[in-house]
A and B are shown apart, each in its own frame.
Chain A
Amino acid sequence: EVQLVESGGGLVQPGGSLRLSCEASGFTFSRYWMYWVRQAPGKGLVCVSRINGDGSVTTYADSVKDRFTISRDNAKNTLYLQMNSLRAEDTAVYYCARDNYALEYWGQGTLVTVSP
């Protein structure tokens, strides 16, 4: 059974940093592109970043470029999102998702709140 479990969310002050993790199980992690998708309270879904199977290719939404860094450790079956210089508008539930054309499997999400 495919499982994705996010962790690392919480309350952080503007300008602060946070690292999210997503632990994967039930599939060969290194074979898949992985995504981070966020959803602000009561809002829609936004793809934030993605990374290919071996970690050599990464892409970012303009809104997070130069502030967020996606990475993965295939030995640990874990995806990461390092978030720096956080802003109030980064407040959202952050989901990790496995790509297979569309986003086939999703984690339960972790809430990031950026507030003084």
Chain B
Amino acid sequence: EMVMTQSPGTLSVSPGERATLSCRASQSVSSNLAWYQQKPGQAPRLLIYGASTRATGIPARFSGSGSGTEFTLTISSLQSEDFAVYFCQQYNTWPRTFGQGTKVEIK
């Protein structure tokens, strides 16, 4: 089973600052990598697919990069609504696996 490892576990950022989240796959997933945002009590929301393509309606401050085993989600200027947990997920092989999540909290 593909293992997805996210770092850091928690990221403390001030509003307006940049946040950089990392995701590493135990084997290559090519560009079959997605990022999701989850707020308390809500379902995950797709942000990025294909490692770098924003989903419909996602603001341009969210960007994704990487391929193979190393991926990054960048939030260029954090807004109050961006404080949440972020998960990466590979969809290259079954079972599709998620990282354990990075919590972005207010500094």
Contact = CB atoms under 8 A, between A and B. Distances in A.
A44 interface: yes
Contact of A95 (B43, B96, B101): B43
A76 to B, nearest CB: 22
A69 B91 CA distance: 21
Main secondary structure of the interface of A (DSSP, over half): strand
A59 B94 contact: yes
A102 B49 contact: yes
A105 to B, nearest CB: 8
A106 B43 contact: yes
Contact of B49 (A45, A46, A47, A101): A101
A106 B91 contact: no
A44 B46 contact: no
B43 A45 contact: no
B100 A44 contact: yes
A109 B41 CA distance: 10
A37 B47 CA distance: 17
Contacts of B46: 102-105
A47 B95 contact: yes
Contact of B43 (A47, A59, A101, A107): A107
Which residue, of A50, A102, A109, has the highest number of chain B Cβ atoms within 10 A?
Answer: A102
B25 to A, nearest CB: 15
A95 B49 CA distance: 19
Ranked nearest first, the 9 interchain pairs of A and B with the lowest CB-CB distance are: A102-B34, A102-B49, A106-B43, A45-B98, A47-B96, A44-B100, A61-B95, A101-B49, A47-B95
